[in-house]
Structures are given as structure tokens and as C-alpha cells.
């Protein structure tokens, strides 16, 4: 660790500081985290909204189910490297345009609804544990 810190400071011509050391530690720690999957996201979102995963993956258009589905698509897009088509197929056989619409809807709601934004923040914390 000390050698890589020295190498980093030499390569970037930066002084060794507490901030640089912290950045190096974060890089090492972040590689040890397990990968977040679409299935894991669905599980956490469904637990949060207290609905079964199979109901979210279904065709129902009930507002609370649709919202959970959209939140799952939003986090799947932002936290995984999966394609839009792959995300859609995992979440009820939707197409890529539906995933894009879901992400746009979630972003718009976060901008306009403080309560919804707090929900997203809470779910994100649970996902990144």
C-alpha cells in the first residue's frame, strides 16, 4: 500500500496527503465489494415496497407495482453494466424503451417529490451495504 501510494504521488506529481491516501484505500476497498445484480436489486426494492418479486415482474399496472418496477429498472441501469434490453427482459420482459422511460420517470419524480427522493436514497443505501 505504501509503495503504491508513493508511486501514485510520483506519477501524478502530487504530494502525499491524507486525501491521496484515502483515495488509494477507497480504490482497494471498492474492488472487494460484491457485484450488484439485477436480481439483487429486484429483491431489495421488493422488500422495501413489501411486494413479491413475481408480482413486480408481472403485467399488472397498479401504481405501487409500476413504481417498484421503475425503481428497479432505474437502479439496474445505474448500478450494473447490463444493457437496457437485458434489464427489461429481467424485469417482466420489457423492452429497452420501457427501461429508458422508467429511468426518466424516476429522475423526474426525484426532482419534484421530496418524499420519493428520500425513498430512493434509502433503497440506495440498502443496495450498497
pLDDT digit string, tens, across residues 9-63? 665 666 767 776 777 777 666 544 568 999 999 999 999 999 999 999 999 999 9
3 against 22, higher pLDDT: 22
Are 58 and 92 within one domain? yes
Q: What was the pLDDT predicted at 1?
A: 54
Q: How many structural domains comprise the chain? A: 2
Are 78 and 27 within one domain? no
Separation between Cα atoms, residue 89 and residue 85, nearest integer Å: 6
Are 86 and 115 within one domain? yes
pTM above 0.85, yes or no: no
- What's the gap between Cα 109 and its chain centre? 16
Structural domain for 120, as ranges:
38-127
**Helix, strand, coil percent values for the chain (each to nearest 5):** 75, 0, 25
Separation between Cα atoms, residue 42 and residue 61, nearest integer Å: 17
Are 93 and 48 within one domain? yes
Amino acid at each position: 500500500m505504501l509503495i503504491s501510494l508513493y508511486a501514485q504521488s510520483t506519477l501524478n506529481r502530487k504530494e502525499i496527503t491524507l486525501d491521496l491516501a484515502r483515495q488509494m484505500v477507497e480504490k482497494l476497498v471498492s474492488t472487494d465489494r460484491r457485484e450488484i445484480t439485477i436480481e439483487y436489486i429486484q429483491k431489495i426494492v421488493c422488500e422495501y415496497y413489501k411486494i413479491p418479486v413475481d408480482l413486480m415482474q408481472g403485467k399488472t399496472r397498479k401504481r405501487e407495482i409500476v413504481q417498484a418496477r421503475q425503481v428497479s429498472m432505474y437502479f439496474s441501469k445505474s448500478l450494473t453494466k447490463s444493457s437496457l434490453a437485458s434489464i427489461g427482459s429481467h424485469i417482466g420482459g420489457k423492452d429497452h424503451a420501457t427501461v429508458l422511460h422508467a429511468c426518466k420517470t424516476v429522475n423526474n419524480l426525484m426532482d419534484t417529490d421530496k418524499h420519493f427522493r428520500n425513498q430512493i436514497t434509502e433503497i440506495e443505501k440498502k443496495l450498497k451495504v
